[in-house]
Amino acid sequence: MCEAKTIEIVDGLTAKAREVATRLGWKLGRHEDGSIVAKTECPRCGGSGHYSRCETYGTRCFGCDVASGGTAVGFVWANAEKLAKKTLAAERKAARVAKVLDADRAAFAALAGFVSYDDLEESGRVLSFKRAEAKAAAAAAAKAAAIAGLEFVGEIGEKLSIEATVASAFVVPGMNLGYKVLTSTLVKFHDASGNVFVWFSSAGFDAAKVGSTVKLVGTVKAHRTYEKTGERQTILTRCKIG
């Protein structure tokens, strides 16, 4: 099989085939029998060059032109006129399908009261965006309402003894003394009404306790409002966990 000389050979094709070959940029060649051939994706392997799972030859495709002594892996040389005919038929079929689809979409859009399918799609996008926005706003409002319902517990200096759920425990890096870094663990608790208690433990905290309900004894050190969320927190000190 010879290498392609597109410009010269294109003149030997019928007008239709010439149009397709030029439009799709086909690489053309001439077969021994004089017919014009076009380089096209191997129909057996779909252009990958691999098909058979034969032990000896691996996955090399025997449909590819390389098998008949050519150099194209994943491609074959097919009669250009036949290939053009096939290509045009496939294009016509695709156009028919698209036309039917367009008609369906137009009818569907009209049914839904839209001028065009694009309008319907756009409206759908706006609608789903608005729904997502409303959902996020509702979630934020619910969270804000929950936070607003929280209260400070006890008086400063008062010793509290409550049932509480361990909400979280994070190690907070502290002052670097050179020979060691002081760390403390920020432990957050919730009581039965959801009120928040915070304890900075310098002795560490067993993370396995997160999620469990404990008996919490501690002294109220401060009441503070967490700036970011407006959450009221009762800060405890000298805590004992039972």
Name the residue with tokens 């009209």. 110
The rounded distance, in Å, linking the Cα atoms of 80 and 30 is 10
- Contact in structure between 42 and 29 (CB atoms under 8 Å): no
The footprint of Zn ion on residues 179-208 (CB under 5 A) is none
Binds Zn ion (CB under 5 A): choice among 20, 28, 36, 63: 63
Q: Is 220 in the site for Zn ion (CB under 5 A)?
A: no
- Contact in structure between 30 and 3 (CB atoms under 8 Å): no
Q: Using the rule CB under 5 A, give the single segment among 62-70, 126-134, 151-159, 179-187 that binds Zn ion.
A: 62-70
HEC secondary structure over 101-119: HHHHHHHHHHHCCCCCHHH
Query: Which tokens in the block code for residue 180?
Result: 């060691």
Binds Zn ion (CB under 5 A): choice among 18, 27, 31, 44: 44
The rounded distance, in Å, linking the Cα atoms of 210 and 214 is 10
- Contact in structure between 191 and 163 (CB atoms under 8 Å): yes
Q: Is 218 in the site for Zn ion (CB under 5 A)?
A: no
Name the residue with tokens 């560490």. 204
Smallest separation (angstroms) from Zn ion to the CB of 60: 8
Q: Which is nearer to Zn ion, 29 or 49 (CB)?
A: 49
Binds Zn ion (CB under 5 A): choice among 36, 37, 64, 160: 64
Q: Is 29 in the site for Zn ion (CB under 5 A)?
A: no
Q: Which is nearer to Zn ion, 31 or 44 (CB)?
A: 44
Q: Which is nearer to Zn ion, 61 or 235 (CB)?
A: 61
Smallest separation (angstroms) from Zn ion to the CB of 74: 6
For the CA atoms of 30, 33, 37, 41, the dihedral, rounded to the nearest 10 degrees, stands at: -120
Beta bridge partners of 217: 161, 240
Q: Which is nearer to Zn ion, 43 or 194 (CB)?
A: 43
The rounded distance, in Å, linking the Cα atoms of 136 and 130 is 10
Per-residue DSSP letters for 119-132? HHHHHHHHHHHHHH
- Count the residues of the shown chain that bind Zn ion, applying the rule CB under 5 A: 6
Q: Is 36 in the site for Zn ion (CB under 5 A)?
A: no
Smallest separation (angstroms) from Zn ion to the CB of 28: 20
Binds Zn ion (CB under 5 A): choice among 9, 45, 153, 239: 45
Q: Is 75 in the site for Zn ion (CB under 5 A)?
A: no
Smallest separation (angstroms) from Zn ion to the CB of 211: 58
The footprint of Zn ion on residues 111-170 (CB under 5 A) is none
Residues within the interface to Zn ion (CB under 5 A): 42, 44-45, 61, 63-64
